[in-house]
Amino acid sequence: MGQRKTGIVSTPSGWCTTAQPGVPVLRQVVLDTTDVRALAEFYRQLLDLQYRSGDEHPGADAPDPRGQDWLVLRRRDGSTALAFQQVEALPPATWPNGPHPQMLHLDLTVPNRAELDAAHQRALALGAQVLMDRSNDEEEPLWVYADPAGHPFCIFVVPAAAG
C-alpha cells in the first residue's frame, strides 16, 4: 500500500480519502421530493450544475425512469453536489413556524449585492417562492426561499475576502 495523503481528495469516481482512518467524508446532500426530475432541474439551473453521466434528461417524449427515483448533480469539476430521492409524499416545510419545520436548509452565497439581486431574479424565474426578504440588511443581506418542493434555502452575501 502507498503512503496515505493528508486531507480530502476527490476523484472523478467520487472516492475520497482522509488523513484520519474511520472519519467519514460528506459526499452530498440528498433532498427528498415527489418530483425528482423537476427539483433536480431547478437546482441544476439555479447553481449551474450538471447531471451525473446517465442522469441527463432523456428528452421530452422518452421515458425517464431515473428521473422518477434518484438523480445526482455534479459541479463542473466533477465533484458531487446534490442528489434527489423520490418519496411518495412530502409536506412542504412551514418555515419559520407551523406543523412541518425545516429539518435542514441550503445556504447559498454570492460575493456582493449586485450578485444577490441577479441570484434573486434567477431563483424567482426558476420557480422559487420568497419566504423572507432581508436583502437590505447591512450586516448580512439575504433572501430565504422555498424551492419547488417546499425545501427552504437561503441566498446571502459573503464578501470574497470573508470566505
Mean pLDDT of 19-25: 69
Domain containing 142 — which CATH number? 3.10.180.10
**Which residue, of 61, 90, 119, is where some domain finishes?**
90
At 22, is the pLDDT very low, low, confident or very high (cuts 50, 70, 90)?
low
At 129, is the pLDDT very low, low, confident or very high (cuts 50, 70, 90)?
very high
State whether residue 159 is helix, strand or coil: coil
Q: Do 74 and 42 fall into the same domain? A: yes
The range of the structural domain enclosing residue 121 comes to: 106-157
pLDDT digits (tens, 9 = 90+) for 30-83: 999 999 999 999 999 999 999 999 999 998 899 999 899 999 999 999 999 999
Q: What is residue 123's predicted lDDT score, i.e. its pLDDT?
A: 96
Q: Do 34 and 91 form a contact (C-beta atoms < 8 A)?
A: no
Q: Do 39 and 77 fall into the same domain? A: yes
pTM, two decimals, is 0.78
**Residue among 47, 12, 30, 51 at smallest CA distance from 149:** 30
Query: What single letter denotes the amino acid at residue 158?
Result: V
pLDDT digits (tens, 9 = 90+) for 91-113: 888 888 888 887 788 999 999 99
